[in-house]
Structure 1
Amino acid sequence: MHTGSCLCGAVSFTVEGDLPGPDGCHCTQCRKQSGHYFVSTDVPRSALAVRGAENVRWFQSSEKVRRGFCAVCGSSLFWDPIGRDWTGIAMGAFDTPTKTCLAVHVHTAEKGDYYDIADEVPQFSTVPPRPH
């Protein structure tokens, strides 16, 4: 089991099972929403339990995705594709250790000009098809 929370603790969560390797999304929306690129792991909805869900506010950033954040402290927590059976959870919100490491960089064609991607993790200019 993995646990995590927002900065102020008004929202906390648990995830049953192992965490899949997270992706780092460099798209403009993720960068604007998180302040840098957004790293999240995709978990089945059935594995996620949220305490303080009344403090989660949702912003629908496109027709297909909504983003969840703490209404009290503003922490970015969730990337939620509408109509799918999984939710992306911000890696920075997890208590450590997570026993995982970055698996892929996506939307690198939109990355900020103020940083380089200098690791050996696979990079995709858009996003590869998801098995979910």
Structure 2
Amino acid sequence: MYVGSCLCGAVTFQISGELKPPDACHCTKCRKTSGHYFASTEVARDAITIEGSDHLRWYQSSEKVRRGFCGTCGASLFFDPPHKDWIAVAMGAFDSPTKTQLELHIFVADKGDYYDITDGLPQNAQ
């Protein structure tokens, strides 16, 4: 069981089962949402329970994806493509170590010019 929350604790979540290795998305939308790149793990919809949903706000960032954040503290929590059987959860929102390792960088063609990716992990341009 993994648990996490937003900064103020108004939105909490629990995940049952194992976590997939996270990826880091460097696309412009993820950078603007998070302030840097967005590291997340995909979780089956039936494996996550969200509490405090009255504080959760959704922003439709594209035709196919919405992003969930706390309406109180503004913490970015979820990347949700409703047409998929999973939801992505921000790695920074977990309350304790996840024992996972970043697996991949995506949308590196859009990354900020102020940093380099030097960890040796695979990098996808898109």
Q: Which residue of 2 aligns with 1:48?
A: 48
Distance in 2 of aligned mates of 1:125 and 1:94? 28
Distance in 1 of aligned mates of 2:95 and 2:18? 14
Distance in 2 of aligned mates of 1:41 and 1:20? 6
What fraction of aligned residue pairs are identical, expressed as a percent? 61
Q: Structure 2: which 5+ residue stretches go unaligned?
A: none
Distance in 2 of aligned mates of 1:49 and 1:89? 12
Residue 96 of structure 1: how far off its partner (Å): 1.7
- Secondary structure of 1:54's counterpart equals coil
TM-score by length of 2: 0.99
Q: Structure 1: which 5+ residue stretches go unaligned?
A: 127-132
Q: How many residues align?
A: 126
TM-score by length of 1: 0.94
CA RMSD of aligned residues (A): 0.5
- Secondary structure of 1:79's counterpart equals strand
Q: Which residue of 1 aligns with 2:25?
A: 25
- Post-superposition, which runs of at least 4 consecutive aligned residues in structure 1 deviate over 2 A? none
Distance in 2 of aligned mates of 1:50 and 1:82? 16
Task: Say if 2:10 is the partner of 1:10.
Answer: yes
